[in-house]
């Protein structure tokens, strides 16, 4: 918040120095004169950051009394207070209106202090709307008055406000020069509290220029002083600054603590601009912590870009790894079985050999006994033969022992291999368990992300115009809204405006209908639709800009500012068509259309004609000024109007052939005379017949209206 207005309060008369409770308790007992008006104005000023209804109650009492006693200076201050009130509430049209009313009276009275304070409030309003030239012009007017009065206190405040304006323009070197100059003036007045407030602004500059250590030191220095003085203007800014520093240091717990302190103070005192900034800081911090639900709550809708793709690819990888592990296990079991079979065969062969040798040996013994009995004479010869046979048997036994030893070694090797396989199997089982656990975690994360996206879909659907709003202005209509994913990068927006509200009978109504096609689809596109909705509301309902071409130009400028496209490599944007409907006599309707790479289709002479928009997009790479053009048509009653994104015409069939714009126009021409519900059904049927089993290529949106 601005230092000038804060210290302007401190410079007010003795009545303002009184506490709010004291003023509330005594104002009723004061005579109805200028003193009572000043009291009521001071109560209004002290309550600006409290309930607006209560504040307006005291403001109205001040107004009624100024009228009764004819007190121009009190009336001017009443208007000035309302200007400050509506600025803090973000109602800049009301803020400018009341501030100028007060300025005109101050100028008639030649009351320089009031004139200077009016210029400051106008500067703050224009700065909040990013109209920096107008803001600087008003700050310089205030500075000239303060220098003329030799008011060093006021001079320092003006220079400080000029420093804050330089920060908004990202001219940080110039901002530091202004702040240092203002701080020197404060030091000359021995105003060390004022120096601390300016140090807080300097810390913000250090933060924005990534000098985190210097910024942290200054914030730590000034926060106790701001807390001591209960400075509700700068204290939330200091808390936010410390929060950003802790976030940069990845100390998210402390970051969230300071962000929440800032949010509570900003909400309590209706600092709407700073509330918005704090929401953004909280959302970024929660995303970094992985708390996507809380992040979506503060940003309204967002989630990760490749949620479903990540889930599908991860599941495929797990299945593939699982199959690989099972194949290895199966191969190991087969190998173990083969080795065991070989071992069993060898054991069986060994037993057969031993049994056969036993039969041979037994036969030889019997044969020897038989011949010993029969042929005693041949004893020596038989002994020699027996020795030879014995030797042969011993050799065979040795061979059997060698074979047994080899079989024993093979058996030990099989046991060792079996143990290794068991270890490998245990490892595989452990890995499989870990994979199942990881897969479960991934499935849980995927479900949470899907829930977040479905919640975001509810938010997006809630922002779109209700069908009753369209029915209230158009006799008949239909809407086809088919997101490619759960949330859409297409959106449509509608506003009915009452003009010349001098009496109920003379009220004239116009309507503005917008169909936008943002860069991308899914979550990134849905983020852009939120920006588009916000900028359209600000442009049409707050700034009261109704010409379609001027609306497109204002949205283009707004997107460049919001996405900082002049300083970043972000080239997101949108195509859009805007129609302004004005009812004329003889049941005719005047339609003013302007399109950014978008066309309007309408029925004329029993044929559907196309009103082509400009070949310019909103946002994107181009830095040049874009001048969109308005095109006007006047249509009789029962005429048809169609607005469409490029999703329908770009949809491909199984042969990868697009439906095409020519076929789309022929389709509209064939349906223009039919009832609107029938048209909608036939259009959806034509899309289904063309698309068949192909995936939807892009978001599809189409609006049909009968004048």
Query: How does 485-505 read in b/e, with b if 16+ C-beta sit within 10 Å?
Result: bbbbbbbbbbbeeeeeeeeee
Strand partners, 590: 582, 634
Q: Which pLDDT belongs to residue 352?
A: 58
Q: Which pLDDT belongs to residue 273?
A: 77
Query: Is pLDDT larger for residue 214 or for residue 308?
Result: 214
Q: Which pLDDT belongs to residue 310?
A: 32
Query: Is pLDDT larger for residue 662 or for residue 398?
Result: 662
Residue 77 reports pLDDT greater than 80: yes
Residue 444 reports pLDDT greater than 50: yes
Length of the chain: 707
Angle subtended at Cα 684 by Cα 451 and Cα 482, rounded to the nearest 5 degrees: 25
pLDDT tens, position by position, 465-505: 998 889 888 889 999 999 998 899 999 999 999 886 544 54
CA 66 to chain CA mean position, Å: 49
Residue for token pair 């943002």: 518
Pair of tokens at residue 367: 């044969």
Q: Tell me which of 8-22, 138-152, 289-303, 560-574 is least confident.
A: 8-22
- Decide: residue 593, CB within 10 A, 0-12 exposed, 13-18 middle, 19+ buried: buried
pLDDT tens, position by position, 551-581: 999 999 999 999 888 888 888 999 999 999 9
Label residue 9 by pLDDT band (50, 70, 90).
Answer: very low
Distances (CA, A) of 88 to 52, 73, 79, 113, 270: 10, 23, 14, 21, 7
Sort strands 631-635 and 618-619 into parallel, antiparallel or unpaired.
unpaired
Identify the top-confidence range among 21-30, 181-190, 227-236, 511-520: 511-520
Label residue 10 by pLDDT band (50, 70, 90).
Answer: very low
pLDDT tens, position by position, 605-637: 788 999 999 999 998 877 778 899 999 999 999
Q: Which pLDDT belongs to residue 292?
A: 82
Strand partners, 482: 700
Residue 257 reports pLDDT greater than 90: yes
Q: Which pLDDT belongs to residue 188?
A: 87
For residues 240 and 281, the answer to whether their CB atoms sit within 8 Å is yes
Read off the pLDDT of each residue in 364-385 and give the average, rounded to a whole number: 64
Q: Which pLDDT belongs to residue 514?
A: 98
Rounded Cα distance between 244 and 241, Å, is 5
Label residue 663 by pLDDT band (50, 70, 90).
Answer: very high
Q: What rounded mean pLDDT belongs to the chain?
A: 81
For residues 707 and 637, the answer to whether their CB atoms sit within 8 Å is yes
Q: 71 φ, ψ to 5°?
A: -120, 85
| Strands (E) located in 92-234 | none
Residue 348 reports pLDDT greater than 70: no
Q: Which pLDDT belongs to residue 316?
A: 38
Read off the pLDDT of each residue in 341-347 and give the average, rounded to a whole number: 59
Read off the pLDDT of each residue in 405-433 and give the average, rounded to a whole number: 75
Read off the pLDDT of each residue in 30-49 and give the average, rounded to a whole number: 72
């Amino acid at each position: 918040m601005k230092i000038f207005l804060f210290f302007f309060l401190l410079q007010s008369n003795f009545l303002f120095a009184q506490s709010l409770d004291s003023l509330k308790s005594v104002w009723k007992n004061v005579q109805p004169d200028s003193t009572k008006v000043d009291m009521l104005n001071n109560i209004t000023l002290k309550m600006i950051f409290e309930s607006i209804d209560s504040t307006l109650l005291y403001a109205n009492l001040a107004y009624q009394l100024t009228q009764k006693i004819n007190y121009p200076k009190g009336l001017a201050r009443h208007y000035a207070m309302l200007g400050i009130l509506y600025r803090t509430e973000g109602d800049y049209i009301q803020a400018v209106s009341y501030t100028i009313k007060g300025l005109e009276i101050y100028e008639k009275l030649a009351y320089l202090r009031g004139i200077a304070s009016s210029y400051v409030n106008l500067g703050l309003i224009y700065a909040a709307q990013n109209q920096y030239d107008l803001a600087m012009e008003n700050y310089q007017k205030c500075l000239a008055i303060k220098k003329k009065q030799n008011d060093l206190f006021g001079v320092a405040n003006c220079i400080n406000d000029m420093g804050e304006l330089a920060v908004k323009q990202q001219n940080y070197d110039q901002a530091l020069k202004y702040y240092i100059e203002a701080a020197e003036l404060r030091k000359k007045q021995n105003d060390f509290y004022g120096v601390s407030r300016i140090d807080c602004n300097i810390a913000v500059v250090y933060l924005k220029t990534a000098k985190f250590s210097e910024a942290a030191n200054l914030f730590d220095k000034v926060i106790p002083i701001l807390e001591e003085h209960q400075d509700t203007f700068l204290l939330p800014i200091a808390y936010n600054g410390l929060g950003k520093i802790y976030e940069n240091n990845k100390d998210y717990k402390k970051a969230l603590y300071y962000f929440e302190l800032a949010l509570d103070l900003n909400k309590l005192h209706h600092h709407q601009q700073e509330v918005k900034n704090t929401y953004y800081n909280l959302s970024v911090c929660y995303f970094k912590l992985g708390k996507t639900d809380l992040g979506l709550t503060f940003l309204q809708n967002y989630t990760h870009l490749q949620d479903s793709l990540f889930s599908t690819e991860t599941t495929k990888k797990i299945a593939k790894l699982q199959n690989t592990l099972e194949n290895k296990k199966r191969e190991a079991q087969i190998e173990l079985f083969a080795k065991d079979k070989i071992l069993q065969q060898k054991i069986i062969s060994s037993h057969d050999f031993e049994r056969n040798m036993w039969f041979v040996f037994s036969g030889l013994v019997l044969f020897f006994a038989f011949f010993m009995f029969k042929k005693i004479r041949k004893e020596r010869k038989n002994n020699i033969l027996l020795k030879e046979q014995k030797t042969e048997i011993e050799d065979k036994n040795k061979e059997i022992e060698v074979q047994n030893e080899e079989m024993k070694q093979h058996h030990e090797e099989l046991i060792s291999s079996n143990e290794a396989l068991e270890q490998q199997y245990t490892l595989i089982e452990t890995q499989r368990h870990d994979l199942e656990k990881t897969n479960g975690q991934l499935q849980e994360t995927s479900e949470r992300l899907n829930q977040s996206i479905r919640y975001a879909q509810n938010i997006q659907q809630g922002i779109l115009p209700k069908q009753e709003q369209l029915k209230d202005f158009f006799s008949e209509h239909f809407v086809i809204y088919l997101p490619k994913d759960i949330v859409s990068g297409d959106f449509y927006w509608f506003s009915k405006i009452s003009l010349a509200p001098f009496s109920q009978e003379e009220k004239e109504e116009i309507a503005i209908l917008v169909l936008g096609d943002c860069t991308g689809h899914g979550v990134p596109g849905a983020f852009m639709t939120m920006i588009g909705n916000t900028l359209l509301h600000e442009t049409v309902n707050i700034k009261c800009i109704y010409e379609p071409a001027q609306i497109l130009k204002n949205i283009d400028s707004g997107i460049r500012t919001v996405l900082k496209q002049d300083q970043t490599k972000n080239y997101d944007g949108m195509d859009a068509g805007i129609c302004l409907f004005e009812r004329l006599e003889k049941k005719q309707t005047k339609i003013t259309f302007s399109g950014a790479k978008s066309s309007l289709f309408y029925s004329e002479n029993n044929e559907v004609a196309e009103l082509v928009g400009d070949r310019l997009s909103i946002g994107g790479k181009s830095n040049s000024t874009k001048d969109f053009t308005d095109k006007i048509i006047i249509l009789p009653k029962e005429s048809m109007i169609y607005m469409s994104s490029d999703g329908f015409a770009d949809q491909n069939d199984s042969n990868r052939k697009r439906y095409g714009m020519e076929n789309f126009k022929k389709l509209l021409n064939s349906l223009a005379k039919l009832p609107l519900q029938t048209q909608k059904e036939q259009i959806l049927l034509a899309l289904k017949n063309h698309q068949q089993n192909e995936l939807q290529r892009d978001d599809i949106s189409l609006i049909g209206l009968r004048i």
